[in-house]
Amino acid sequence: MKNNCIVSYIFLGVIILLLSACNAIKHVNEGEHLLKKNTIKVNDKKNIDDEVNTYLMQRPNSLVLGIPVSLNFYNLGSKNFLHPYEIWRDSFPKRHRSFSKAFSEKQSRGYRNFKNSINEWFFRSGEAPVVLDTLKTVETAKNLRDYFQSEGYFRATVDYKETFKSKKRVTVEYNVNTGKAYKIDSISKNIRTPILDSIYEKNSNASLIKKGNQFRFKDFENEADRLTSIYRNTGIYHFNRNTIHFDADSSLVPFKANIHLNINNRLIEENDSIYSTPFRVQKISKIDVYTDYSFSRKNDPYNATDTYNKYTFHAHDEIKYNSKLLTNSIFIYPDSIYKDEDRDLTRKNLRGLKNFRLVDIKYTELNQDSLAAQIFLTPYKKYSFAVNTELSHSNIKQMGVSGKVSIMNRNIFRGAEILNFSLQGSFFNSTDVADQDKNIFFNAWEFGGDVSLEIPRILFPINTTKIIPKNMAPKTNFTLGTSFQKNIGLDKQLFTGIIGYNWQSSKKIRHRFELINAQFIKNLNPESYFEIYTSEYNDLIDVSESMSETITIPPEMYDDNGNLIPLDFIDYMLDPSNNFESSHPNEYGDTQNIDSKYNIITENVLVPAITYEFTYNNREDYKDTDFSFFRVRLASAGALTTQFAKETPESSNKELFGIPIAQYLKGDFEYKKFWGMGDENTLAYRAFLGVAVPYGNSSTIPFNRSYFIGGANDLRAWKIYDLGPGSTENDLEYNVGTLKFLTSLEYRFNILNSFKGAIFADAGNIWDITNSELIEEEGKFTGISSLTDIALGTGFGVRYDFNFLVVRLDLGFKTYEPYLAKGKKWFTNYNFNHSVFNFGINYPF
């Protein structure tokens, strides 16, 4: 706790330093004014449209919580250091003599150069004061006028006012008078090519230009894009957007515009002359695929040839790909009309095979009505060897260094399959043993290996083409793996086998179905249970002390040091011949509960699951800051496997090869929403709901498939496993449940270049919904009233963006603690002594 407090104060000190105020006009010269604020008023009302703000040519210095942090950082620098050493020496002779007298000339120069480097870093990393430039004010007014005119306000006017404040500061106000908007009165067209006119008429109902709509330039641009897309996907290969022209006449009726659409014929330049000809629908009559193209051998002959369904495949020496299977990723079809969509889909799917580093598609005109398509593929090397090391972090592995060696074999069965074999190992700091040996930073390790095969098609006994067509880029994945974990809980060995399918039904929607996701979990060190779960051991000691008041406990229940031997004592307490169930019912019941927990956590288990995952993500690209994400994952474990298993006489549970089979249903639902707020500021929201229900062969959920809460990516004011279930307050090291709710709201903002900041609030908890006798009533979910058990944590954080990853430091404070007495739940431990410091890699969600 003491170390955590020290880290917390250091963390807070860094925040205060970054936000500390400085003289904002330190580097503003005489006659200059620091721009403090821009205001845009539209028809005497303050503008609330973010798009309008994008036309400002000059903006004030960026703010963090109302403080110009970047400017303050810049102002930490001194321009006296911007000159060469000799100028500095002559400008400050007394300072120079003092340094030279105390040190040598060389040391004086070195000291000054060192301070100069720091000074330059302040200027380079900070943000220079934004000084008013009236020319940019004038340019902004022009931009605003042009924008509103493009929105149909042809008579819009913009005035501006620069108000000079005291202490070299200025504000600028722009006043926009839009006037009345022009609307579309009539629409006419002149499409010279008959086939284009026919296609236009078939698609005219979806036109973005309609009578009565407000005149907006962007609508005409979008309509031109729409028509271009339609034509280029209905066989008009030579069509281009520049062929479309819109003319507007607004002189006839006040505030009305008549629109005329012109689409000319195709222009052809030939023999120093240009002539026009009607556009024609063109078909693909020939398709050639070059499977080993390279620029260095582009002029070498292609000696190997193969054909399949009118596709011709070429290679310099040998065609190494199965022609039939490769066509599964080609969507340009023989005798079909030309389509941009087919070309783009072909390029996307061929790249998705991860066998080709270059995919290039070209078309050649054979005659007026037909085209030849040429697909050039440059393959990667068949074998690749990779060694990766990384800094890792998770809820259980607080800090780790890992390494991975992998060998990839591409096109192993000539169908663009990928076989991957990897070995990985890591050393890390585990929360399980973090308090056992504080002198060892990396107190745990993990080693494992796996082999996987990715096949770019669906391998299933039933034909799935109608349900999952090839344009959804389906893939089949086989994985076999094992890993050993040391000093994580009871130490584990895991064997995993997966047969999975994934496909993308649209740009925004992905699916994954795992026919088999089987995992065998073997505890390698069950005898360490009471060393790790010390609270359980302490409960046993309490039982023994209570028993010793009335009976004499046999000495063999203790080791040579006088410590209670847990398992021997449990057997002694539960031995029917001792009749403790009737003579000491409370102690017997407590021991029985401890024994049940021990058996649940130390039991080896087979988890054969069938899973389905649906993901919706409408993010356009990595620059998109306004998007939504939704994921649902459903799992059914043991439903089929138990049909082939036999019951054991001892427990009436079904086992396979002597291993109990876990049987449960589980559903995870997650929603995220992000709002971009300009200047690299983002508001992020997350909600998660998880439910797991055991049935049949199981009365509980396997420990590693249960829900927990807390940690750097979860409820950040509590350490992992520290909270729950419900309002129970116990000393268990690992608290888990079968129901979980979590929600987070986080405001992310830019502080200084790559330094980012955040303010967050996390709320959630776990509960038990199995009515287990091992869980106290306070830990069970009983309905709406249980929602008062939701814990709340708030805090702030600093992040550094390395572009390829984000290092995150978050400080969480316990704001509402449901397990405390009434009247003490709010802000009782809202202080640095009880705060939780989180180190994370990348954003929490």
Above 90 in pLDDT, residue 675? Answer: yes
Tokens describing residue 306: 């193969």
Q: State residue 440's pLDDT score.
A: 47
Q: State residue 39's pLDDT score.
A: 95
Which tops the pLDDT comparison, 79 or 206? 206
Question: 697 and 578 in one domain?
Answer: no
Question: 546 and 436 in one domain?
Answer: no
CATH number of the domain at 367, please: 3.10.20.310
The count of domains in the chain is 6
Above 90 in pLDDT, residue 18? Answer: no
Residue 44 half-sphere exposure, CB side, CA atoms within 13 Å?
Answer: 1
Question: 676 and 786 in one domain?
Answer: yes
Angle in degrees, CA 212, 215, 220, rounded to 5: 110
Q: Check if the beta carbon of residue 701 is closer than 8 Å to that of residue 664.
A: yes
Q: What percent of the chain has pLDDT over 70?
A: 91
Greatest mean pLDDT range, 482-496, 517-531, 542-556, 651-665: 542-556
Task: Report, as an integer, the average pLDDT of 735-741.
Answer: 93
Question: 627 and 748 in one domain?
Answer: yes
Given strand 659-660, what is the order of strands in its sheet? 646-647, 654-656, 659-660
Question: Any idea which of 22-36, 102-116, 554-568 has the lowest mean pLDDT?
Answer: 102-116
Task: Tell me, yes or no, whether 396 lies in a domain.
Answer: yes
Above 90 in pLDDT, residue 428? Answer: no
Tokens describing residue 838: 């989180």
Q: 438 falls in which pLDDT band (50, 70, 90)?
A: very low
Q: State residue 202's pLDDT score.
A: 96
Closest listed residue to residue 503, CA positions, set 546, 463, 542, 455: 455
CATH number of the domain at 701, please: 2.40.160.50
Question: Any idea which of 113-127, 247-261, 388-402 has the lowest mean pLDDT?
Answer: 388-402
Q: Check if the beta carbon of residue 424 is closer than 8 Å to that of residue 403.
A: yes
Q: State residue 439's pLDDT score.
A: 43
Question: Any idea which of 84-93, 303-312, 711-720 has the lowest mean pLDDT?
Answer: 84-93
Task: Tell me, yes or no, whether 612 lies in a domain.
Answer: no
Task: Report, as an integer, the average pLDDT of 413-418.
Answer: 96
Task: Tell me, yes or no, whether 609 lies in a domain.
Answer: no
Q: Check if the beta carbon of residue 24 is closer than 8 Å to that of residue 34.
A: yes
Question: 195 and 145 in one domain?
Answer: no
Reported as a single tens digit per residue, the pLDDT across 639-654 is 888 777 777 666 667 8
Question: 544 and 508 in one domain?
Answer: no
Task: Tell me, yes or no, whether 649 lies in a domain.
Answer: yes
Q: State residue 395's pLDDT score.
A: 45
Q: 618 falls in which pLDDT band (50, 70, 90)?
A: very high
Above 60 in pLDDT, residue 17? Answer: no
Q: State residue 527's pLDDT score.
A: 82
Task: Tell me, yes or no, whether 611 lies in a domain.
Answer: no
362: exposed, middle or buried (Cβ count in 10 Å: 0-12, 13-18, 19+): exposed
649's CB contacts (< 8 A; 6+ apart) are none
Which residues on neighbouring strands pair with residue 493, listed in sequence order?
A: 484, 522
Which residues on neighbouring strands pair with residue 40, listed in sequence order?
A: 174
Task: Tell me, yes or no, whether 607 lies in a domain.
Answer: no
Average pLDDT, rounded, for the chain: 88
Question: 402 and 372 in one domain?
Answer: no
Above 90 in pLDDT, residue 98? Answer: no
Task: Tell me, yes or no, whether 613 lies in a domain.
Answer: no
- Which residue, 476, 499, 524, sits at the end of a domain? 524
Q: Describe the chain by its helix, strand, coil percentages, rounded to 5.
A: 25, 35, 35
Question: 159 and 53 in one domain?
Answer: yes
Q: State residue 120's pLDDT score.
A: 83
Task: Report, as an integer, the average pLDDT of 353-379.
Answer: 96
Question: 197 and 70 in one domain?
Answer: no
Q: State residue 616's pLDDT score.
A: 98
- Which residue, 479, 509, 524, sits at the end of a domain? 524
Tokens describing residue 600: 């649940």
> What CA dihedral angle connects 119, 125, 130 and 133, to 10 degrees?
90
Question: 833 and 707 in one domain?
Answer: yes
Reported as a single tens digit per residue, the pLDDT across 273-305 is 899 999 999 999 999 999 999 999 989 999 999
Task: Tell me, yes or no, whether 814 lies in a domain.
Answer: yes
Range of the domain at 544: 527-602
Question: 220 and 164 in one domain?
Answer: no
- Which residue, 218, 244, 277, sits at the end of a domain? 277
Question: 208 and 89 in one domain?
Answer: no
